Chains A and B, each alone.
Chain A
Amino acid sequence: MKHTLSVLVENKPGVLTRVAGLFARRGFNIESLAVGQSEDPRLSRITITIDGAERPIDQVMKQLHKLINVVKIRNLQPSGMVAEELMLVKVNAEGEKRAEVLQVAEVFKAKIVDVDRRTVVLRVVGSTQKLEAFLELLKPLGVLEIVRTGIIAIARGKG
């Protein structure tokens, strides 16, 4: 089972270590983690996704709550959230391949952010599934490097 936690923390040194360390200690594997400032400059928001957790997630959420610098935690439900990720992909774009790469980029609304004679760097934003599908199509052309931000997620509506 996959979980997406949105954790509001005080913007203080060492907070990320505390949060990440806690997951490791309690036997959870972090799949992705993204941090950045929130609407309040004193607070940061961490989006953590955990995959294949065998233990109940509420125990680790309770332990997380006990960290003094953690202000709020939400366990976002797939139906009630928007979750997106940004990915940069460097692909082989020599010769005829270039046209093909550009075509795939077009379909996925990926942006070309860098070009040189042999390669193209594409930026694509979207759900994990979209990113995976995009990669599937690019792979035969020769993917050289992938960088992903990790998922960031937000609850829908006012909830």
Chain B
Amino acid sequence: MTPQSKMKGSEAIVRALQDEGCDVIFGYPGGVVIPFYDALLDSSLRHILVRHEQGAAHAADGYARATGKVGVCIATSGPGATNLVTGIANAYLDSVPIVALTGQVKSDLIGTDAFQEADTTGITLPIVKHSYLLQDAAELPRVIHEAFHIAGTGRPGPVLIDIPVTTSLAEVSYKRVETLGLPGYRPTTRGHVKQIRAAARAINDAERPVLYVGGGVISAGAAPELLELAELRRIPVTTTLMGLGAFPETHELSLGMLGMHGTVTANYAVHECDLLVAVGARFDDRVTGKLSAFAPKAKVIHIDIDPAEIGKNVPPLIPIVGDAKHVLAALVKELQGLEWTPERTSAWLAKLKGWQDEYPLHYEDPADGTLAPQYVVEEIDRVTRHEAVVVSDVGQHQMWATQYYTFTFPRQWVSSGGLGTMGFGLPASIGAKIGRPDATVVDISGDGGFQMTVQELATAVNYDIPVVVAILDNSYLGMVRQWQDLFWNKRYSQTHFERQPDFKMLAEAYGAVGMRVTEKDEVADALREAIACGRPAVIDFKVAAEENVYPMVPAGTSITEMIGGVAPRRRKKS
């Protein structure tokens, strides 16, 4: 191959994508991206034709979360680009590295309200880590190289490249770019030595420490270092929704998730701790509840790659800007030189153990004989032996998935956290399965969210992507109904689906396997069959209509004020 060769812009895009290590792209064609699709025909780059551009963005996102690689999607100008917007925002709020390519009208038509023109860079400005309007074809190789670099490094995030069709048609001399021209982009990766030393001393001295771990630990690939640190000083670990999988929940030091639907023990632990070590987490309101009542007795150490997160909500005593992997490793090294005995935290660990015994997650079998949604998740956990890649949609089922699935490794959990995007689950599971073909991928979905992107069943069938969709079907927009139940006098306004499609038949119509399960003793078998069949499968689990997710911290209150935290049979008699 010649180091520099002349080709069409569209061919250069394909080449550049491959040079960046991209092996699959999710997309949907249209007028101004025909040149790209034409170049695709002559390349080995795999393309997955989704059924809606939102699906392309979520699939790229799911692929990125499950693999750690940059996910790529493409759409045409105008409506194609606007259909990507939700997916880009979703990736932005969860710091997921994706590169979104959009077609744009001819350079000289920009700004004239041309056919299918939308100001894509303008519309997406607040929801991208960076974006380009690629007017000059000569810049194409550099821009694509930079886009991948920016998306995947530092705090990851989506990068958009808007490409006028004139750029795709122009002749460019393509040469692989290895250098970067980004004078304003230098993420700090190595933590400040003095701060790390101070943090190590604080950790060593703590009697009631807690590690509060977010998605940053997963992005940084820092799970091994986290485990080492936790075990070295016997520090209990609680994770955020984004951090699930960063620390094995089978470990004795795991407290599970904290926050609005976190475990009682995790929330009590944060409330009582004398040292809170936040790693790659951002003190989101769904975690902290009422901010002024959050971790009131604790010194706070905050480790994050993004300086803007430090001090945004909680001013830390010891801020450390850096990559979690590096900082945690440095902390371990520093701690190894300090004297410490397990007695220092043993009383604390015993106390936590006591809470765990007293306040386990709990539910009862529904009186009407329908399935308990929690039971379905427990069965998914059992059948897949904590080893599936679990994708979720957004709602009650998502929270039950966090509570009743046992997460044991990073990138095992793919879920929309920050944006809370209904419709994320199915396309994201397709992306995840493509990225992790050897893993069992189960999408735990709701009957509402499933219908927001149900068309992607066609994609799964088309490409033989055997994902298992488990719908926890309650005929309700359950999470909203729960709020109406608890805070709006049970006035269920527009949350009940009076008529739903037959999900089994719907799946079959798409060419997938469809099942319906109403009996407890059929749950495991149905799951096994769906996993074994090797085809996309949808199981409609008819679950209790009005079950609520507990414990629950009402928005804006202290995280110790949990509704439903105590199991009925354990409630003390007054």
- With an 8 A cutoff between CB atoms, is A17 at the interface? yes
B184 in contact with A10 (CB, 8 Å): yes
Please measure, in the bound complex, the distance between the C-alpha atom of A88 and the C-alpha atom of B181, giving whole angstroms.
40
B308 in contact with A59 (CB, 8 Å): yes
Please measure, in the bound complex, the distance between the C-alpha atom of A68 and the C-alpha atom of B149, giving whole angstroms.
12
A10-B183 contact, Cβ under 8 Å, with A59-B312, A62-B307: yes
- For B182, the chain A residues whose CB sits under 8 A away are 68
Please measure, in the bound complex, the distance between the C-alpha atom of A74 and the C-alpha atom of B125, giving whole angstroms.
24
Q: Which residues from 154 to 197 on chain B have a C-beta closer than 8 Å to any C-beta of chain A?
A: 182-185
A21 in contact with B184 (CB, 8 Å): no
- With an 8 A cutoff between CB atoms, is A66 at the interface? yes
- With an 8 A cutoff between CB atoms, is B150 at the interface? yes
A63 in contact with B308 (CB, 8 Å): yes
- For A13, the chain B residues whose CB sits under 8 A away are 133
B126 in contact with A21 (CB, 8 Å): yes
Which of B184, B306, B311 meets A9, CB within 8 Å?
Answer: B184
- For A63, the chain B residues whose CB sits under 8 A away are 308
- With an 8 A cutoff between CB atoms, is B130 at the interface? yes
Which of B122, B133, B150, B184 meets A71, CB within 8 Å?
Answer: B184
- For B311, the chain A residues whose CB sits under 8 A away are 58-59
* Shortest Cβ gap from B22 to chain A (Å): 21
* Shortest Cβ gap from A4 to chain B (Å): 20
- With an 8 A cutoff between CB atoms, is B121 at the interface? yes
Q: Which of B125, B126, B183, B307 counts the most A-chain CB atoms under 10 A from its CB?
A: B183
Which of B133, B183, B306 meets A66, CB within 8 Å?
Answer: B306
Please measure, in the bound complex, the distance between the C-alpha atom of A43 and the C-alpha atom of B184, giving whole angstroms.
11
Please measure, in the bound complex, the distance between the C-alpha atom of A72 and the C-alpha atom of B183, giving whole angstroms.
9
A68 in contact with B129 (CB, 8 Å): yes
Which of A14, A65, A70 meets B121, CB within 8 Å?
Answer: A14
B130 in contact with A68 (CB, 8 Å): yes
- For A66, the chain B residues whose CB sits under 8 A away are 129, 306, 308
CB-CB contacts of B382-393 with A at 8 A, as 1s and 0s? 000000000000
A25-B126 contact, Cβ under 8 Å, with A68-B184, A69-B184: yes
CB-CB contacts of B118-141 with A at 8 A, as 1s and 0s? 000110011001100100000000
Please measure, in the bound complex, the distance between the C-alpha atom of A43 and the C-alpha atom of B181, giving whole angstroms.
13
- With an 8 A cutoff between CB atoms, is A18 at the interface? yes
- For A17, the chain B residues whose CB sits under 8 A away are 122, 125
> What residue in chain A is nearest B309 (Cβ atoms)?
A62
Please measure, in the bound complex, the distance between the C-alpha atom of A37 and the C-alpha atom of B129, giving whole angstroms.
25
- With an 8 A cutoff between CB atoms, is A53 at the interface? no
- With an 8 A cutoff between CB atoms, is A146 at the interface? no
Please measure, in the bound complex, the distance between the C-alpha atom of A25 and the C-alpha atom of B185, giving whole angstroms.
21
- For A68, the chain B residues whose CB sits under 8 A away are 129-130, 150, 182, 184-185
Please measure, in the bound complex, the distance between the C-alpha atom of A25 and the C-alpha atom of B308, giving whole angstroms.
15
A65-B307 contact, Cβ under 8 Å, with A10-B183, A18-B125, A71-B183: yes
- For B126, the chain A residues whose CB sits under 8 A away are 21, 25
Q: Which residues from 51 to 95 on chain A have a C-beta closer than 8 Å to any C-beta of chain B?
A: 58-59, 62-63, 65-72
Interface residues on A, range: 20 to 34
> What residue in chain A is nearest B187 (Cβ atoms)?
A66
Please measure, in the bound complex, the distance between the C-alpha atom of A18 and the C-alpha atom of B133, giving whole angstroms.
13
Please measure, in the bound complex, the distance between the C-alpha atom of A66 and the C-alpha atom of B305, giving whole angstroms.
11
CB-CB contacts of B298-326 with A at 8 A, as 1s and 0s? 00000000111001100000000000000
- For A65, the chain B residues whose CB sits under 8 A away are 307-308
- For B122, the chain A residues whose CB sits under 8 A away are 17
A21 in contact with B125 (CB, 8 Å): yes
> What residue in chain B is nearest A10 (Cβ atoms)?
B184
CB-CB contacts of B492-515 with A at 8 A, as 1s and 0s? 000000000000000000000000
> What residue in chain B is nearest A68 (Cβ atoms)?
B130
- For A25, the chain B residues whose CB sits under 8 A away are 126
- For B184, the chain A residues whose CB sits under 8 A away are 9-10, 67-72
- For A58, the chain B residues whose CB sits under 8 A away are 311
Please measure, in the bound complex, the distance between the C-alpha atom of A59 and the C-alpha atom of B315, giving whole angstroms.
12
CB-CB contacts of A7-47 with B at 8 A, as 1s and 0s? 00110011001100100010000000000000000010000
* Shortest Cβ gap from B36 to chain A (Å): 23
- For B150, the chain A residues whose CB sits under 8 A away are 68
* Shortest Cβ gap from A20 to chain B (Å): 11
Please measure, in the bound complex, the distance between the C-alpha atom of A70 and the C-alpha atom of B183, giving whole angstroms.
8
Q: Which residues from 79 to 132 on chain A have a C-beta closer than 8 Å to any C-beta of chain B?
A: none
Please measure, in the bound complex, the distance between the C-alpha atom of A2 and the C-alpha atom of B307, giving whole angstroms.
23
- For A9, the chain B residues whose CB sits under 8 A away are 184
- For B185, the chain A residues whose CB sits under 8 A away are 68
> What residue in chain A is nearest B125 (Cβ atoms)?
A21
- For B307, the chain A residues whose CB sits under 8 A away are 62, 65
Please measure, in the bound complex, the distance between the C-alpha atom of A101 and the C-alpha atom of B53, giving whole angstroms.
65
Please measure, in the bound complex, the distance between the C-alpha atom of A66 and the C-alpha atom of B182, giving whole angstroms.
12
* Shortest Cβ gap from A7 to chain B (Å): 10
* Shortest Cβ gap from B328 to chain A (Å): 23
- For B306, the chain A residues whose CB sits under 8 A away are 66
- For B121, the chain A residues whose CB sits under 8 A away are 14
- For B125, the chain A residues whose CB sits under 8 A away are 17-18, 21
* Shortest Cβ gap from B419 to chain A (Å): 16
Q: Which of B150, B306, B308 counts the most A-chain CB atoms under 10 A from its CB?
A: B308
Q: Which residues from 181 to 217 on chain B have a C-beta closer than 8 Å to any C-beta of chain A?
A: 182-185
> What residue in chain B is nearest A72 (Cβ atoms)?
B184
* Shortest Cβ gap from A94 to chain B (Å): 44
- For A71, the chain B residues whose CB sits under 8 A away are 183-184
* Shortest Cβ gap from B159 to chain A (Å): 9
* Shortest Cβ gap from A24 to chain B (Å): 10
* Shortest Cβ gap from B315 to chain A (Å): 10
* Shortest Cβ gap from A60 to chain B (Å): 9
A14-B133 contact, Cβ under 8 Å, with A68-B185, A69-B184, A71-B184: yes
> What residue in chain A is nearest B159 (Cβ atoms)?
A68
Please measure, in the bound complex, the distance between the C-alpha atom of A94 and the C-alpha atom of B130, giving whole angstroms.
55
* Shortest Cβ gap from B390 to chain A (Å): 31
23 A–B pairs (Cβ distance < 8 Å), ordered by A: A9-B184, A10-B183, A14-B121, A17-B125, A18-B125, A21-B126, A25-B126, A43-B183, A58-B311, A59-B308, A62-B307, A62-B308, A66-B129, A66-B308, A67-B130, A67-B184, A68-B129, A68-B130, A68-B150, A68-B184, A69-B184, A70-B184, A71-B184
Closest 8 CB pairs of A and B: A62-B308, A71-B184, A68-B130, A68-B185, A70-B184, A71-B183, A62-B307, A63-B308
> What 16 additional pairs, Cβ within 8 angstroms, besides A10-B183, A17-B125, A58-B311?
A10-B184, A14-B133, A18-B125, A21-B125, A25-B126, A59-B308, A59-B311, A59-B312, A62-B307, A65-B307, A66-B129, A67-B130, A68-B129, A71-B183, A71-B184, A72-B184
